[in-house]
Amino acid sequence: QVQLVEAGGGLVQPGGSLRLSCAASGFTFSSYAMSWHRQAPGKERELVAAISSAGGSTNYADSVKDRFTISRDNAKNTVYLQMDSLKPEDTAVYYCHAYSRNNYWGQGTQVTVSS
Protein backbone atom coordinates (compact mmCIF):
# COMPACT_ATOMS: atom_id res chain seq x y z
CA GLN A 1 0.00 0.00 0.00
CA VAL A 2 1.13 3.54 -0.73
CA GLN A 3 2.38 5.42 2.29
CA LEU A 4 4.02 8.80 2.86
CA VAL A 5 5.11 9.43 6.43
CA GLU A 6 6.31 12.89 7.45
CA ALA A 7 8.57 13.44 10.44
CA GLY A 8 10.65 16.19 12.03
CA GLY A 9 8.02 18.77 12.87
CA GLY A 10 7.88 20.52 16.21
CA LEU A 11 8.29 23.79 18.06
CA VAL A 12 11.24 26.03 17.18
CA GLN A 13 12.23 29.62 17.92
CA PRO A 14 12.30 32.35 15.26
CA GLY A 15 15.61 32.22 13.44
CA GLY A 16 16.00 28.53 14.18
CA SER A 17 16.22 25.54 11.85
CA LEU A 18 14.30 22.34 11.32
CA ARG A 19 14.57 19.46 8.87
CA LEU A 20 11.48 17.59 7.74
CA SER A 21 11.59 14.16 6.16
CA CYS A 22 9.05 12.15 4.22
CA ALA A 23 9.53 8.39 3.91
CA ALA A 24 7.75 6.80 0.96
CA SER A 25 6.72 3.22 0.29
CA GLY A 26 4.34 1.26 -1.93
CA PHE A 27 5.25 2.88 -5.25
CA THR A 28 8.26 3.56 -7.47
CA PHE A 29 9.63 6.57 -5.64
CA SER A 30 12.35 7.35 -8.19
CA SER A 31 9.71 7.84 -10.92
CA TYR A 32 7.83 10.52 -9.00
CA ALA A 33 8.39 14.21 -8.58
CA MET A 34 8.01 15.27 -4.96
CA SER A 35 6.89 18.44 -3.28
CA TRP A 36 6.14 19.99 0.08
CA HIS A 37 2.99 22.01 0.75
CA ARG A 38 1.81 23.77 3.87
CA GLN A 39 -1.46 24.99 5.31
CA ALA A 40 -1.89 27.48 8.13
CA PRO A 41 -5.18 27.87 10.03
CA GLY A 42 -7.71 29.81 7.95
CA LYS A 43 -5.50 29.82 4.87
CA GLU A 44 -5.33 27.85 1.63
CA ARG A 45 -2.81 25.09 1.16
CA GLU A 46 0.20 26.39 -0.74
CA LEU A 47 3.16 24.91 -2.56
CA VAL A 48 6.42 25.41 -0.68
CA ALA A 49 9.01 23.54 -2.73
CA ALA A 50 9.23 20.88 -5.44
CA ILE A 51 11.90 18.58 -6.82
CA SER A 52 12.05 16.48 -9.98
CA SER A 53 12.23 12.68 -9.90
CA ALA A 54 16.01 12.54 -10.28
CA GLY A 55 16.63 15.63 -8.15
CA GLY A 56 18.02 17.72 -10.98
CA SER A 57 15.49 20.52 -10.81
CA THR A 58 13.93 22.39 -7.88
CA ASN A 59 11.62 25.32 -7.38
CA TYR A 60 10.41 27.30 -4.39
CA ALA A 61 7.72 29.68 -3.30
CA ASP A 62 9.01 33.25 -3.15
CA SER A 63 8.28 33.38 0.58
CA VAL A 64 10.78 30.61 1.36
CA LYS A 65 13.37 31.07 -1.38
CA ASP A 66 16.91 31.31 0.05
CA ARG A 67 15.73 29.92 3.39
CA PHE A 68 14.41 26.44 2.56
CA THR A 69 16.07 23.63 0.62
CA ILE A 70 14.35 20.56 -0.79
CA SER A 71 16.36 17.42 -1.51
CA ARG A 72 15.81 13.71 -2.03
CA ASP A 73 17.61 10.43 -1.58
CA ASN A 74 16.16 7.90 -3.99
CA ALA A 75 18.16 5.08 -2.41
CA LYS A 76 16.29 5.74 0.83
CA ASN A 77 12.93 6.61 -0.75
CA THR A 78 12.96 9.84 1.24
CA VAL A 79 12.49 13.53 0.49
CA TYR A 80 13.66 16.27 2.85
CA LEU A 81 12.91 19.91 3.53
CA GLN A 82 15.66 21.83 5.29
CA MET A 83 14.20 24.98 6.84
CA ASP A 84 16.53 27.73 8.04
CA SER A 85 15.92 31.24 9.39
CA LEU A 86 12.41 30.26 10.38
CA LYS A 87 9.77 32.93 10.89
CA PRO A 88 6.47 32.85 12.79
CA GLU A 89 4.64 33.01 9.46
CA ASP A 90 6.14 29.62 8.57
CA THR A 91 3.88 28.06 11.20
CA ALA A 92 1.67 25.51 9.45
CA VAL A 93 1.01 21.85 8.86
CA TYR A 94 3.48 20.63 6.24
CA TYR A 95 2.45 17.93 3.79
CA CYS A 96 4.52 15.67 1.56
CA HIS A 97 3.21 15.13 -1.99
CA ALA A 98 4.19 12.63 -4.68
CA TYR A 99 2.99 13.15 -8.23
CA SER A 100 3.26 11.45 -11.60
CA ARG A 101 0.60 9.20 -13.12
CA ASN A 102 -0.95 9.16 -9.66
CA ASN A 103 -0.95 11.63 -6.77
CA TYR A 104 -0.31 10.76 -3.14
CA TRP A 105 -0.38 12.84 0.04
CA GLY A 106 1.02 12.32 3.50
CA GLN A 107 -0.89 13.07 6.69
CA GLY A 108 1.15 16.15 7.56
CA THR A 109 3.43 17.28 10.36
CA GLN A 110 2.99 20.40 12.50
CA VAL A 111 5.65 23.10 12.46
CA THR A 112 5.30 25.89 15.01
CA VAL A 113 7.69 28.85 15.06
CA SER A 114 7.32 30.85 18.24
CA SER A 115 9.34 32.41 21.02
Quick one: pLDDT at residue 23?
Answer: 98
Taking all residues of the chain, what is their mean pLDDT, rounded to a whole number? Answer: 97
Query: In whole angstroms, what is the distance from residue 8 CA to residue 10 CA?
Result: 7
State pLDDT tens for residues 57-80: 999 999 999 999 999 999 999 999
For residues 91 and 109, is the Cβ–Cβ distance under 8 A? no
* Low-confidence residues in the chain, pLDDT < 50: none
Quick one: pLDDT at residue 9?
Answer: 98
Quick one: pLDDT at residue 64?
Answer: 98
Quick one: pLDDT at residue 19?
Answer: 98
Quick one: pLDDT at residue 63?
Answer: 97
Quick one: pLDDT at residue 74?
Answer: 97
Quick one: pLDDT at residue 24?
Answer: 98
Quick one: pLDDT at residue 114?
Answer: 97
Task: Return all residues near 101 (Cβ < 8 A) that are at least 6 apart.
Answer: none
